[in-house]
Structure 1
Amino acid sequence: MDRIRIVGGRPLKGSIPISGAKNATLPLMIASLLTDQTLILDNVPRLADVSLLQRILSNHGVDMMVPGKRPGESQQNGHTIHIVASRIVDTTAPYDLVSKMRASFWVIAPLVARMGEAKVSMPGGCAIGTRPVDLLIMALEKLGAKIEIDGGYVIARAKDGLKGGEIKFPKVTVSGTHTALMAAVLARGTTVIENAAQEPEIGDVADCLNKMGARISGIGTSRLIIEGVTRLGGARHSVLPDRIETGTYAMAVAMTGGDVLLEGARPELLQSALDVLAQTGTEVSATNEGIRIKRNGAGISPVDVTTDPFPGFPTDLQAQLMALMTMAKGTSRITETIFENRFMHVQELARLGARIALDGQTAVVTGVDKLRGAPVMATDLRASVGLVIGALAAEGETMVNRVYHLDRGFERLEDKLGACGAAIERVSG
């Protein structure tokens, strides 16, 4: 099993190209099930989760084509995939595939919308809380689907097709909004989604669906209106830049000091996180090429932050911020409101010398003068990269184990950081 070795203490200088967003790529790929025409996605990141979803979709009969290398092309750029679901041959998503990635459960929506039936295993994925699917099931039922749960599978049927309806989520849910959108675009009549998630990735998927012939309005707001259509066509769409990768590298620069341009990053996608970073004493400036992050070595100021749905501070940047706060000049409070059990990185950061006390869903972080390298264990995707950020500033060597979590969501992380001066390498076996 691969590990990542880091020798800390080096400032980061240079530029890092920001990849396409994983959290938009996965639902965009799943949306290909809604049409028998070709969906072309550009700026697709090279990630383990993308490869896994390719396998899951191929089980339904979906064909994928990834063009070969072209002149002047480099691994720095996202690649293009052509996805064709001309004939869906299997409407069952089995446990052995769905259990490996939670987002694959979302195939239930386009399958029942297009084929009138779907049988999908209960999901797996990161070990962060329960993340139930009850709101996804509720959304499908509001559109007329008959739901049965049998032997760990959710069976959805709509023999005569889905019908438009009103879906009001009791709490903001990204997965529920994705599911409702993909189900509603082929439903007869009008669907209104109230309290919809407003994350940029939702808007990116909605924009792509509109290119395919859907009629979605209210994009970027909490109220989405969908006029159902009888069929969707093909389209070409470029995945938006990954705001979580952007924020992660921004915090790595703030942690180590230095000066890095995050190429292609868009500040409006993570303004709340950039505002928090500025409060720590980090210089943040938008340019025509992306976002420039600079810290001249002065002390890191502590901050108090609560995670919230977009446009609030993202839960997916909570572990990275906590790592940054371990060396702040004072005490910080970080409150997690989105997922339970999302503090599993705390005890691993403590192995580096961090001082963190938990009070319910709040972590109280007392900054220390220095961290020291140690072997640490990644527990989930975002926690693992938080450990990398801590290791970049720690004295001596840190070995990060279980880096398959990193490969799920960060494209070529060690190459990108290494190009900016970090002493980081992958160790196989």
Structure 2
Amino acid sequence: MADDLRTVLADDLRTVLADDLDRARRRSQLLTDAVDDDDLVRQHSRLMSPLVWDLAHIGNQEELWLVRDVGDREPVRDDIDHLYDAFKHARADRPALPLLDPAQARAYTRTVRDKVLDLLDTVAFEGRPLVEHGFAFGMIVQHEQQHDETMLATHQLRVGAPVLTASPPPATTVPVEGEAWIPAGPFTMGTSTEPWALDNERPAHTVDVPGFFVDRAPVTNAQYQRFVADGGYHDQRWWSADGWAHRQRADLTGPMHWHGDGSYTRFGRRGPIQPDEPVVHVCWYEAEAYAAWAGRRLPTEAEWEKAARFDPATGRSRRFPWGDDDPRPEHANLGQRHLAPAPVGAYPAGASPAGVHQLIGDVWEWTGTWFDGYPGFTAFPYREYSEVFFGRDHRVLRGGSFGTDRAACRGTFRNWDYPIRRQIFSGFRTARDPLPGEAA
């Protein structure tokens, strides 16, 4: 959300929040109404929850934080909290729980939302950090949109006739090739001012980044196909020890949903691989191996953010590559507006000052960095949002995907996952250090 939320009038903030809550709920309804009750309760992959679990979990988090905490009101269903606590039950085990059925889940989320909208009419946005600038409501908007993206990934894993539709992404409008030079020097990473930024994005701090080259666009299907055709999946030279062990164990031969004959399946529709789209559904180990094959590497998280935010003309960090304004359709492929990444070069208005394209939207981009807290990190409002994931288990992804809503995507937003995961909408771009004496 825009920085001016810090100064917006309370009544205007209520309108912004109500609109964002409604947009998220309409998307949740679209994703769950698209299938019948049997599909809602079925587990389409052991990597994912049943869609009906996600729906009720969305309502339960909204009840916990807004109805009970912010509103200090009587619980709607405190008897189900344990069923929808993501830390109590692994995804693979959730179908065996006594979950709310689809009708009950829908009724529950409606009741919770009615109470939240009543609360929104009267709540004071001051007095404690949880409510300042509407933070708790913004946190719930982001939480629902994140689960909507998770449900969209479940739809991609679902077997059956297609049920989701959307307009195709825009065509390429400018050629985007090669790499951009990002000069050495300090920049401000993270934020201390973004009103709805989550704890792992804070605080703002200065990072001195050596000069580097970075791809002007994400790696495309055509580029990745050359790695596959060159035997990249069968040549141990390109893989780390852990990556090679995983490649063998999982029998990886190409990105998830590729069929080996030049076709792939997306949301139930099989068709030819589009050469100029960013490659998607690759794990971190695959991205790492491709980069090694290409004589390059994955960018660090700090490099990615500097490429996305640093404005050399002013020396400041922007909210987005294009500036400080919230994303518009001409800037980036976000919000499930399309059901695919857009071809490289489709969003020239979204490029960074250095000429790096499609840093926001299309595909989450793997970085070479482990997920950890910034210097001065403070958990807020609870440790389980970020802190329990810190360490050497999860790699950082940046930038959002075509399934990420604008409320849950900004230049400082951090995502993370295990390096073996590829059911998410993950892609990457590569970087390299300058050769001796080389400059832009």
Q: TM-score, normalised by structure 2?
A: 0.29
Q: TM-score, normalised by structure 1?
A: 0.29
Bigger share in strand: 1
Bigger share in helix: 2
Which structure has more RCO (C-alpha within 8 Å, separation ≥ 6)? 1
